[in-house]
Structure formats: structure tokens, C-alpha cells
Amino acid sequence: MAVINGGELVIRTLYKAGVERVFALHGAHIETLFQACRGHGIGILDTRHEAAAGHAAEGYARAARRPGVAMITAGPGFTNVLTSVANAYLDRTPVLYLTGSAALGEAETNTLQAGIDQVAVATPITKWAHRITTPAQLPRLTALALRIAATPPMGPVLLDLPMDVLTAGINEEDVTIPDTFLPDAPPAAPARIVERILALLRQAQRPVILAGGGVWEAGAGTALREFAECSGIPVYSDFAGHGLLPADHPLYGGTTHKLADLTDPHRPDTVLILGTRLGLFTLGGSDMLIPAAAKVIHVDTDAREIGRLRDVDLGVAADCGEVLTALNQSAGETDWPDYTDWQQGIAAAKTARREQFTEILQRTEAPIHPYQAVSAVIDNLPENTIVIGDGAESYHWLNEVIQQKEPGSYLTHGYLGAVGFGLGLAMGARIARPDRPVLCLTGDGAAGFGISEFDTMVRNRLPIVTVIMNNSSWAASQHFQEAVSGKENLSGTQLGAARYDEVAAGFGGYGEYVTAIDRLGPALRAAFDSSRPACVNVAVDVAPLPPEIGLLMSRH
């Protein structure tokens, strides 16, 4: 009768669930997990900081549409990963955090990396957090954790694994690895509700669809496109939903903030919200994006989101994929109004927004305007590149030009507003999709959080290209400070003109410093051609304010 340890039981369960890669930073408390991963061929991306391991698991989950797994040691390892846990919680990202902790038999002994109730700390920022105290329960509870994480509304879970539980021996015949990890059927909407949705849309003169991460999570991009093309209803998206409809599709209006470009009387009168939460990225319940008089149909797996910030005419707690499938069964037989004028008005608004930047694109003087920089980045991306947007202002500039054609390929900020996660997300996305190039665009402030992860990328041969928008400033904070306290009272918002490209090269990557716009395209192409982790450090102007930031400031 073979005796195995608790760490082996955890990893056998992950292996049976189809986990192929985990993200981690080693510590003695989780050594059994590392050795079991070796024994089962589960790859480990070992980072330089626990936060990066957590963010990489997030990036993997968002790009692969399946749970990411992070293994983190006790004490400071746990506290270091908390920003990732909170980020995953607010963005409903399915991540399983396996955290080591001091042995149960050493409770209240002032031992190493102990004295913190890790479950109590994690409970408010997870869907479920639990300490496993018996080795025999490890498979059942690990399977349960995966199911909770991956069941909509998705989110992070944390299993706290005491060291003596992971090292304890148990007869393998005495435990069973579960076969069931996920439910077989998502929640659907009744036929009468689907008919009400169709009726409200048929009555509309200017309907739009707001497609969000819930559509991507449901794997319903094709169904969304089919419904939009059949009905003729234009589509806007949140960032997680960008690419569900290709950005160059004639029915795609842009990301949600672009709704503010529509003016009376050419604004939506009916809005079908699919898997998008009202809040930060829709300017809350404000009518700046969705008119107060517009009829609202809101579909989300989480009933708490329906009516959270404004009343709805129809609330549907169901899976977006199931709802779209049902809509498509009747859409072809529906007598839809002619929305040509409405579609053309939205297309004209998109054109007018781009034309605002025509003169900026003609600039030749230094420093480079941020809009010029992000435009050059988009113009020089290899086909099917996954783009990561980081930085408090850099990603707002990127939002102006992002043109993805596939869902799950633009990963950027969520509701926590944390900066510095970009390199972690990029590594997770690259592991999830090794067939696709990955670019991370970030600011110089955000880059400093995880600059050592260039070492991780070099060691693991991850040819990720990072573009750093370097304005020697915490620009978002500087602009806030200028508005509130005056330009003459800047404090704590200035940075040096650091050579991040040389840091990347020092770790064994490729680096290039760009100060002229005509050099940015060639530098990007050279970075991708290097087939190494690369950093293109771009000197940009700190003065310009992204239009999205201006919109947010105008609301307040």
C-alpha cells in the first residue's frame, strides 16, 4: 500500500482537472507542491515576486478562459500576492491561490512566517477561502475550489495549506480524486424572456448592445456577431469584451466611453447589456453614456449587478451565451427595422473622434506625443498579437487606438485600478497562448513595480515585447495634482529618466531607447524580430491628458 503526501494529493487533483501550468514563487511551506508538479509534468513559471505570480495566473485565466493557479508560500508570500487576489475578485477572474502556512501543530508558537490568519484576511476578497486541516480532504476541497472559481459569476478562491497537512503521509487507496470539476449546464433564460428581449429591441429606433467580459467567458463571440449582423444593431464593448466583434467591423462602435461621442438626438434609445457591469467603465449610472430615458435590458449571471446603479426594463440572470443562442433562433425570422442611418451616425462619430488627432500625428518634434506613440505601436504589431495595457494613463491612450480582432486579446485594467500588473499578465497570456505574440504597453511608473520580471521572461524564454511610455512622472497623479493644487505645487509625482531598456538588456533581454517618432516603428519590429524578452523605452510628453481621463474629470 503506497503512502503519498498531501502535496501529491493536491497536484494529482489539479492534473486530473487538466491544469498544465502553475505560477509560483518557491517557499519551504509549499515544497511538496513543487515536487509533485515535477512528478506530473505540470510546468511552473517561477517569478521574482509573488504579485507577479498572481497576476500571471490572472493573465492566463483571462486569455485561456479557464482557471489560473498560483502557488504562494506563507507569511510575506501571502501578503505580497494580496493585490492580485483583490484584482481578481473585483474583475471576476477565476484564479485558484494555493497558499502555504505554518503547521497546525505549531499554532501560537511564534514560528517562522506565521501569526497571520490568512483565511480571515482573504475572505473579504475571494469567492471562497478555506484552510484544509486533514490530508484526506485535500482532493475534494481542491476540486470544490476549482468549481467555485469557474462557476459564474467567476472569481478567485484561496486554499490555505498548513505545512504539516501537505507533508503528512496517507495511503493512496484511502482517498479518491473527484471526477466532477464543473457543472454541465449554464443558467438559461426562459423562452418568454427571450421574446420580451426581442420585442423591446424591435420597438427601438436607435438600439445598441453593450457586450462585456460575460460574453467572452461564455464563449459566445460567434453568437454575438451572428445576432448583431442579423439584427443590424451596433455593438460597443467594455475592455474585456473588446474583440468579440472585430474592431474593424462596420457594426462595432468602440469601447464604452465612446458612447459619449453621440449627441442628442442621435443617442441610444434602447440598450441591451450583455455581461457588462455598470460602474467605473460606464461612468457609473450616469446618463452621459446611457440616456436616462433609454430602455435597458441587462443580462448577467450575477443578479446583484442587475439594477445596481439604475433601474432596468428587463433583468435577466442568465448566461450570455445561452441568451444569445436563444435570440439567434428567432432573430432570422424577426422583421427588424432599417437601422442604416443609425449605423452611419455611429460610424461618423468614430471618424470624427479619430480626426481630432490628425494634427498630432503629423508632429515631428520631441518629446513624442503619447497618441503618436500608441498609434505607432498598433501600426507595427504582428498579426494576432495579444495586447496588455498597464499604467494609470498609458492604457487610456491605448484605448483610443486599440484594434483587436479576437476576444480575450486585450487585457487591461479593471475595477481595482492597480498598476504594475502588466508584466505578470503578459507572462500568463503568453503561457496560455504560446502561438501568439504578446505586447505589454505600460507607463514608467507602473513598470517599476515588476521590472525584475524581465529575468523571469529571459529564464523561461518568453519573447514578450514591452513598450514603456516614459514621461519621467507618475502622470495620472501629476495631472490630478496640477488640477487640484496647481502646477507650482507638485510633490511626490516626479520620476527620473530611467533607462529601462538597459535594465532589460542587463537581464539578458533586448532593449532600445526611442526619442523620435520615426524610430518607434523600426524599434518595435526589431524587438519582435529579436525573439527575446524586449523593452522599447519611449520618451513621451507628460503634458497631454487622455480624452477618457478628461471625460472622467468632467463628471466630477
Ordered DSSP codes for 23-56:
EEE--GGGHHHHHHHHHHT-EEEE-SSHHHHHHH
Picking from 145, 104, 97, 135, the residue whose alpha carbon sits closest to that of residue 5 is 135
The alpha-helical segments, DSSP class H, found in 232-339 are 320-331
Question: Which of the following is catalytic: 417, 506, 508, 550?
Answer: 417
The Cα–Cα gap between 408 and 385 comes to 11
550 is catalytic: no
478 is catalytic: no
The Cα–Cα gap between 342 and 340 comes to 5
Question: Which of the following is catalytic: 6, 8, 27, 29?
Answer: 29
Question: Which of the following is catalytic: 50, 305, 322, 512?
Answer: 50
The Cα–Cα gap between 498 and 537 comes to 9
The Cα–Cα gap between 196 and 312 comes to 13
The Cα–Cα gap between 409 and 435 comes to 13
Burial 290-299 (b: 16+ CB within 10 A, else e): bbeebbbbbb
Picking from 554, 553, 517, 255, the residue whose alpha carbon sits closest to that of residue 360 is 517
Residue 274 three-state SS: strand
The Cα–Cα gap between 471 and 9 comes to 50
396 is catalytic: no
The Cα–Cα gap between 133 and 138 comes to 9
Length of the chain measured in residues: 556
Cα atoms found within 13 Å of the Cα of residue 494, Cβ hemisphere only:
7
- The residue type at 131: R
Ordered DSSP codes for 503-547:
HHHHTT-EEEEE-SGGGHHHHHHHHHHTTS-EEEEEEB-SS---H
The Cα–Cα gap between 163 and 99 comes to 10
The alpha-helical segments, DSSP class H, found in 356-393 are 358-361, 370-379
Strand-strand pairing, 252-255 and 235-237: parallel
The Cα–Cα gap between 462 and 516 comes to 28
359 is catalytic: no
The Cα–Cα gap between 64 and 93 comes to 11
- The residue type at 64: A
Catalytic residues: 29, 50, 113, 417
